[in-house]
Amino acid sequence: MKEIKIVLPDGSEKACPEGISVREVLSSWGQKTLAATVAARFNKSLVDLSRSLTEDGNLELVDVSSREGLEILRHSISHVMAQAVQDLFPGVLVSIGPAIEDGFYYDFEYNDTFTLEDLEKIENRMQEIVKADHPFVREEVSREEAITFFQGKGESYKVELLKDLPEEVKTVSLYKQGGYTDLCRGPHIPSTAMIRAFKLLNVAGAYWRGDERNKMLQRIYGTGFASEKDLEDYLKIIEEAKKRDHRKLGRDLDLFQVSEEAGAGLIIFHPKGTILRTLIEDWEKKEHLKRGYDMVMGPQILKVDLWKKSGHFDHYRENMYFTEVEGQSYGIKPMNCLAHMLIYKSKMRSYRDLPLRYFELGTVHRHEKTGVLHGLLRARQFTQDDAHILCTPEQLNSEIRAIADFVGYAMKIFGFDYEVELSTRPKDSIGTDADWELATSALEGALKDNLMTYDINEGDGAFYGPKIDFKLKDALKRKWQCATIQCDFTLPERFDLTYVGPDGEKHRPVMLHRVILGAIERFMGVLIEHYGGAFPVWLAPVQAVLLTVTDRHIPYGEAVYSQLMDAGIRVEKDFRNEKLGYKIREAQTQKVPYMLVIGDKEMASGQVAPRERGGDNLGAMPVSSFIALVQEKCGQYQ
- CATH for 601: 3.40.50.800
Q: Is residue 71 part of a domain?
A: no
Residue 616 confidence (pLDDT)? 87
49 lies in the same domain as 82: no
Q: Which residues of 250-271 are buried (b: 16+ CB within 10 A; e: fewer)?
A: beebebbbbeeeeeebbbebee
167 lies in the same domain as 192: yes
Domain range for 581 is 544-636
Q: With CA atoms as reference, report the closest residue to 452 among 461, 440, 444, 462.
A: 444
Which of 203-217, 269-283, 415-429, 597-611 is the most confident on average?
269-283
Given 500, 531, 562, the domain boundary residue is: 531
Average pLDDT, stretch 427-443?
Answer: 83
432 lies in the same domain as 515: yes
Residue 620 confidence (pLDDT)? 92
Q: Is residue 309 part of a domain?
A: no
d(CA 96, CA 28): 37
Model pLDDT for residues 621-631, shown as the tens digit of each residue: 999 999 999 99
| pLDDT confidence tier of residue 31, bands split at 50, 70 and 90 | low
Q: Is residue 556 part of a domain?
A: yes
Query: Among the listed ranges 281-285, 388-392, 454-458, 569-573, which one has the minimum average pLDDT value?
Result: 454-458
Average pLDDT, stretch 349-360?
Answer: 98
d(CA 516, CA 294): 15
Helix (H) or strand (E) holding 23: helix 22-29
| CATH number of 386's domain | 3.30.930.10
d(CA 52, CA 55): 10
Residue 555 confidence (pLDDT)? 96
584 lies in the same domain as 478: no
Model pLDDT for residues 378-432, shown as the tens digit of each residue: 999 999 999 999 999 899 989 999 999 999 999 999 999 999 999 999 887 877 8
d(CA 363, CA 533): 25
Q: List the Cα angle 309/311/315 in 5-degree steps.
A: 150
Binding residues for Zn(2+): 337, 388, 513
624 lies in the same domain as 482: no
Number of domains in the chain: 4
491 lies in the same domain as 569: no
d(CA 187, CA 194): 14
Model pLDDT for residues 66-108, shown as the tens digit of each residue: 999 999 999 999 999 999 999 999 999 999 999 998 999 999 9
* Of 615 and 164, more confident: 164
Given 498, 531, 564, the domain boundary residue is: 531
Q: List the Cα angle 40/43/46 in 5-degree steps.
A: 35
Residue 502 confidence (pLDDT)? 97
Adjacency order of strands within the sheet including 455-457: 294-295, 356-365, 381-391, 510-519, 479-488, 467-473, 417-423, 455-457
**Number of Cβ within a 10 Å radius of residue 346:** 8
Q: With CA atoms as reference, report the closest residue to 98 among 209, 229, 22, 212.
A: 209
Given 15, 38, 63, the domain boundary residue is: 63
80 lies in the same domain as 185: yes
Average pLDDT, stretch 449-474?
Answer: 86
| pLDDT confidence tier of residue 435, bands split at 50, 70 and 90 | confident
CA atoms within 13 A on the CB side of 145: 9
Binding residues: 337, 388, 513
Residue type for position 463: F
Q: Is residue 326 part of a domain?
A: no
Neighbouring-strand partners of residue 546: 573, 596
Q: Is residue 159 part of a domain?
A: yes
| CATH number of 223's domain | 3.30.980.10
Neighbouring-strand partners of residue 181: 176
Query: Among the listed ranges 125-129, 351-355, 464-468, which one has the minimum average pLDDT value?
Result: 464-468
| CATH number of 9's domain | 3.10.20.30
132 lies in the same domain as 39: no
3-state secondary structure of 76: helix
Residue type for position 23: R
183 lies in the same domain as 59: no
518 lies in the same domain as 550: no
DSSP label at 257?
Answer: E
Model pLDDT for residues 317-339, shown as the tens digit of each residue: 999 999 999 999 999 999 999 99
Q: Which residues are known to be catalytic?
A: 337, 366, 384, 386, 388, 467, 513
Residue 509 CB-density burial (10 A; 0-12 exposed, 13-18 middle, 19+ buried)? buried
d(CA 528, CA 104): 26
**Number of Cβ within a 10 Å radius of residue 281:** 15
| pLDDT confidence tier of residue 49, bands split at 50, 70 and 90 | very high
Residues ≥6 apart with Cβ < 8 Å to 250? 256, 257, 273, 375, 376, 528
DSSP label at 21?
Answer: B
Q: Is residue 613 part of a domain?
A: yes
Residue 314 confidence (pLDDT)? 87
d(CA 486, CA 33): 41
40 lies in the same domain as 142: no
For the chain, how are helix, strand and coil distributed in percent, rounded to 5? 40, 30, 30
343 lies in the same domain as 386: yes
